[in-house]
Amino acid sequence: MREGNSGTEKIIIAPSILSADFSNLAGAAREIDASGAQWLHFDVMDGRFVPNLTFGPKAAADLRPHSKAVFDVHLMTGDPDSLVPGFAGAGADYITFHTEAVIHSHRTLSLIQAAGRKGGISIVPSTPVSRIEELLPFADLVLVMTVNPGFGGQEIIPRCLEKVKRLVDIRKERGYGYLVSVDGGINETTAPMAREAGADVMVAGSAFFGAKDKAGLVRKLGGEGL
């Protein structure tokens, strides 16, 4: 059982390659490994659930040999079920979908786990924790969006961090085992708030790829930079 991050534990930093130069994704994956960040966050957008388009399973499969990181796939798509086999086959470790996109969230979570991957649920800023309460015993990860999904480089909505606290409290009260991840607007200034709220994982896109000293940034965010 996880107790929540007390502030002394290291945070897992998950740089998002959404903010990398798409003409050199393999180089970006190598920069992530070289920084000491343990995860690579892979934002999948379908132009329907969010007003932007990114990459599919082939991009993840092609990147896999270039990185030792845990592949943290974040599906911002209207039909996540159809992409689960592709990303599971591509070597994704975690596959997270938006509960707002599907009716049968428990089925989607089961599909991911039946494919041998860790299953995550994500909520946008306007979705309360109560909406996913029945799913929490089954989840490996809960991703709290702290911006409206679709684009990197947006400002954090600090109120969303109250949901991180709530999820950490529920986990402790009920003995659940999910990791709590925060995604959107995380940088040196906002990371302490996310850490204080108890986040286990922090996704960072523009802050990571905008930093000259990437290992230094990972350490400043609370992670184990090389």
From 46, 72, 140, 183, active-site residue: 183
DSSP for 95-159, please give it. Answer: EEEEGGG-S-HHHHHHHHHHTTSEEEEEE-TTS-GGGGGGGGGG-SEEEEESS-TT-SSPPP-GG
Which residue's CB is nearer to Zn ion, number 31 or number 183?
183
- Kindly state whether residue 98 participates in binding ligand DX5, applying the rule CB under 6 A: no
Stretch that binds Zn ion, among 22-30, 125-133, 181-189, 211-219 (CB under 5 A): 181-189
Q: What single-letter DSSP state applies at residue 121?
A: E
Residue 88 or 182 having the CB closest to Zn ion = 182
93 tagged catalytic: no
Tokens of 19: 């903010």
Query: What is the three-class DSSP state of 99?
Result: helix
Q: Which is nearer to Zn ion, 140 or 183 (CB)?
A: 183
d(CA 139, CA 111): 12
Count of residues that bind ligand DX5 according to CB under 6 A: 23
Q: Return d(Cα 128, Cα 2) in angstroms, integer.
A: 22
* Max Cα distance, the chain (Å): 46
Cβ closest to Zn ion, residue 114 vs residue 143: 143
The Cα 160–Cα 63 span in angstroms is: 32
Residue 21 is among the residues annotated as catalytic for this protein: no
Smallest separation, CB 161 to Zn ion (Å): 16
With beta carbons less than 8 A apart as the criterion, state whether 161 and 5 touch.
no
Question: Could you say which residues in the range 31-50 bind ligand DX5, by CB under 6 A?
Answer: 41, 43
Check residue 152 and report its DSSP letter.
Answer: S
Q: Nearest approach, Cβ of 136 to Zn ion (angstroms)?
A: 20
Q: Which of 43, 46, 72, 140 binds Zn ion (CB under 5 A)?
A: 43
What residue 185 binds from ligand DX5, Zn ion, none (CB within 5 to 8 A, per partner kind)?
ligand DX5
Residue 46 engages Zn ion in binding (rule: CB under 5 A) = no
**Contact criterion met (CB below 8 Å) for 202 and 11:** yes
Interacting residues toward ligand DX5 by CB under 6 A = 16, 18-19, 41, 43, 74, 76, 147, 149-154, 183-186, 203-207
Residues of this chain that interact with Zn ion (CB under 5 A) are: 43, 74, 183
